[in-house]
Amino acid sequence: MSKHPETLALHAGWRADPATKSVAVPIYQTTSYQFDDAAHASRLFGLQELGNIYTRIMNPTTDVLEKRVAALEGGVGALAVASGQAASAMAVQNLALAGDNIVSSTDLYGGTWNLFANTLRDQGIEVRFVDPADPEAFLRASDDRTRAWYAETLPNPKLEVFPIAEVAALGRPLGIPLIMDNTAAPLLVRPFDHGAAVEVLSTTKFLGGHGTSIGGIIVDGGNFDWAAHPARQPALHRPDPSYHGAVWAEAAKPMGPIAYILKARVTLLRDLGGALSPFNAFLTLQGIETLPLRMREHSRNAEIVADFLAGRAEVSRVIHPKHLAGAAAARTAKYLTRGHGGLVGFELAGGLEAGRRFIDALRMIYHVANIGDARSLAIHPASTTHSQLSVEDQLSTGVSPGYVRLSIGLEHPDDILEDLSRALDASGDVARPLAAE
Ligand SMILES: *Cc1c(COP(=O)(O)O)cnc(C)c1O
């Protein structure tokens, strides 16, 4: 199979339907699967043979999605789930048990922050937050019950690339895998190439790409030696009573380096039940067919927008991987060699009121809490997603009163700039007369 994402996005994991020769991946809208005979059924339940039993655990449409994303990201296997949040939660729960901890970057998606700071803590998993600018901070925050490190490749609002290789290399000798959320930079950064062991993605965003379907996926890099770290990774080494005492680090070996992702499927997905629907798997596959094309266009248009914003008097700061300084700029150059992605932030000198006026003056760009859509999107966090936080807490997450986040889509750049230009005019302190139309 090709190594090129353009080809993998169209072909990986599927040729034609064995029953009908259908070229498009069929939506296998079924809950269950007929067993050949009693012996076949017991082999499937006993994991002596992998195959379809029930759609909560696996489904042929979802299976193609899993194979395709694993191929694109350079992993050995994947597990699709109902949302990006479910992927983040299960990626951690697959290793960390009550009493254990993980260390995470502070620069996180808000939903992941809540999951880590509140819900996982309530379940007995402590999450220790550290500054991603200092790789050694992950080491200092770890102890013998640290099961994983966690970070986002290109977190917003700061859009500073995480030092993946630098952090992953510190964890590996200790048996601590790095889990990377690659939602904002699929195909642009391949975390496994830099030493990450596990990836999570919200397929809701760039992979689906059309704002139609919530979904998430966990990808196993197949590059982490779980068997070498029995004390560090008890979840993969203690006998599992639900499979007659199977030890996942050993039991999975005949099937390849898939201990982590196999355990996630046959225990966590089985028990927690956050399965993706076959229809959403189908829509996500449709999106992925054009992912390589779209990431190029998102990156191109966003760069045009960032350069345009840098020249506007109303804008006091542009936040884009190309417009960073110092160590952050060096990481952009090291990691974002295939494009800078579709996200752009900026600060309006006029603050909160200017932000509100800007949003209300947009005509084409949608005002929504999403990223990665084919359409351009905008949000003013201080009056929406972050409005419940104090101004100090907003600032500590990188959200100033005049901060606006854009997810730049695939429209013609002239039309994007025209809409932005009108909204910037309207955001100014001094009302300017609108040109007659
Ligand atoms: C949206 C998002 C998530 C959560 O994904 P859902 O599909 O909305 O559950 C996780 N991480 C990042 C970086 C995101 O942007």
Mind listing the pLDDT tens digit of every residue in the chain (437 residues)?
789 999 999 999 999 999 999 999 999 999 999 999 999 999 999 888 989 999 999 999 999 999 999 999 999 999 999 999 999 999 999 999 999 999 999 999 989 999 999 999 999 999 999 999 999 999 999 999 999 999 999 998 999 999 999 999 999 999 999 999 999 999 999 999 999 999 999 999 999 999 999 999 999 999 999 999 999 999 999 999 999 899 999 999 989 999 999 999 999 999 999 999 999 999 999 999 999 999 999 999 999 999 999 999 999 999 999 999 999 999 999 999 999 999 999 999 999 999 999 999 999 999 999 999 999 999 999 888 888 878 887 887 788 999 999 999 999 999 999 999 999 999 985 444 444 43
Q: Is 214 in the pocket of ligand 1 (CB under 6 A)?
A: yes
Q: Is 105 in the pocket of ligand 1 (CB under 6 A)?
A: no
Q: How many CB atoms lie within 10 A of CB 244?
A: 9
SS3 state of residue 146: strand
Residue 220: predicted pLDDT: 98
SS3 state of residue 417: helix
Residue owning the nearest CA to atom 8 of ligand 1: 84
Q: Is 47 in the pocket of ligand 1 (CB under 6 A)?
A: no
Atom number of ligand 1 nearest to Cα 214: 7
Token pair listed for 79: 């597990």
SS3 state of residue 119: helix
126 C-alpha to ligand 1 centroid (Å): 21
Q: Where in the chain is the domain with CATH 3.40.640.10?
A: 5-286
- The CATH number for 291-427, chosen from 3.10.310.10, 2.60.40.3500, 3.40.50.620, 3.90.1150.10, is 3.90.1150.10
Helix-strand-coil split of the chain, %, nearest 5 = 40, 15, 45
Q: Is 85 in the pocket of ligand 1 (CB under 6 A)?
A: yes
Residue 351: predicted pLDDT: 93
SS3 state of residue 189: coil
Residue 429: predicted pLDDT: 54
Atom number of ligand 1 nearest to Cα 216: 7
Residue owning the nearest CA to atom 7 of ligand 1: 84
Pairwise CA distance, residues 367 & 373, whole Å: 12
Establish whether the linkage from the previous residue to 234 is cis, with ω within 30° of 0: no
Q: Where in the chain is the domain with CATH 3.90.1150.10?
A: 291-427
Do residues 357 and 427 touch, judged by C-beta distance below 8 A?
Answer: yes
Ligand 1 pocket test, pick from 113, 204, 385 with the greatest ligand atom count within 8 Å of Cβ, gives 204
Residue 436: predicted pLDDT: 42
Ligand 1 pocket test, pick from 106, 109, 213 with the greatest ligand atom count within 8 Å of Cβ, gives 109
CATH architecture, range 5-286: 3-Layer(aba) Sandwich (3.40)
SS3 state of residue 153: coil
Atom number of ligand 1 nearest to Cα 370: 1
* Antiparallel, parallel or unpaired: β 216-220 and 315-319: unpaired
Pairwise CA distance, residues 260 & 227, whole Å: 11
Residue 389: predicted pLDDT: 78
